[in-house]
Amino acid sequence: MQIHIAPSILSADFANLERDLKAISNADMVHVDVMDHHFVPNLTLGEPIVKRICEVTDLPVDVHLMIEDPDRWAPEFAKLGASSVTFHMGATHAPVRLARQLREMGVKACFAVRPAESVEPIFDILDEFDMILIMTVEPGFGGQKFLANQMAKTRRLRDEITRRGLNTHIQVDGGVSPSTASTVAEAGADVLVAGSAVYGAENPAQAIDAIRAQAQEHFRA
């Protein structure tokens, strides 16, 4: 399976966002964190900026909604040009209905799981989603330390996906770097979100290549 790298612009320079988007042109997608100061204790960006990101980058835009009421707002972000929209287990009232609505709009539907949440409750609806996001930090802020204890959860999810013959991707977000990429990939994740490890590097493109190489070498389906 091919490894996908999704740099998070949460660690980019927001005053030079178009420049920083061009700096990751060798990535597979761009990860955009939308936070509302309610579901998580941080506030980032909203629809106008996401719209412009979709307009100025050639990369698929992966929108991660850390907001209340994604049932109402996820379709609006899909309309802006996102290729995938992720919403959280603890925020949605009707995850299957929302996933189907996003897919009908031609957008990949993704479900996010926080560190304290288990993946087993979503096993019965796995086939409704294109990707499951395992958070390896508490959502809300970049630069946090990688939670290695989330790898057992990731492996259980990969084993269930494999057992059922599904094509669901596993994305891991939080503390991903060249030093943790092998651990993440060994657990079965094939989409790696990296923020500070990319934008904090002297050469973001080289950092992307290093993370991809480590993950590709150690990936275990």
Known binding-site positions for substrate? 8, 64, 140-143, 173-175, 195-196
Tokens at residue 19, please? 């420049």
33 among known catalytic residues: yes
Which one of 28, 33, 130, 190 is the catalytic residue? 33
Which one of 20, 28, 62, 173 is the catalytic residue? 173
| Burial of 83 from C-beta contacts in 10 A (0-12 / 13-18 / 19+) | middle
Tokens at residue 74, please? 């996820």
Q: Give the Cα-Cα-Cα angle 15, 20, 21 (nearest 5 degrees).
A: 120
d(CA 39, CA 139): 9
- Whole-angstrom CA distances from 105 to 69, 77, 96, 101, 140 are 19, 11, 14, 6, 28
Binding positions:
8, 31, 33, 64, 140-143, 173-175, 195-196
Binding positions for a divalent metal cation:
31, 33, 64, 173
In one letter, which amino acid is 95? P
Q: In the chain, where does DSSP find H-type helix?
A: 17-22, 47-56, 70-79, 95-104, 151-164, 181-186, 196-199, 204-218
Tokens at residue 205, please? 């493109």
What residues are labeled active site? 33, 173
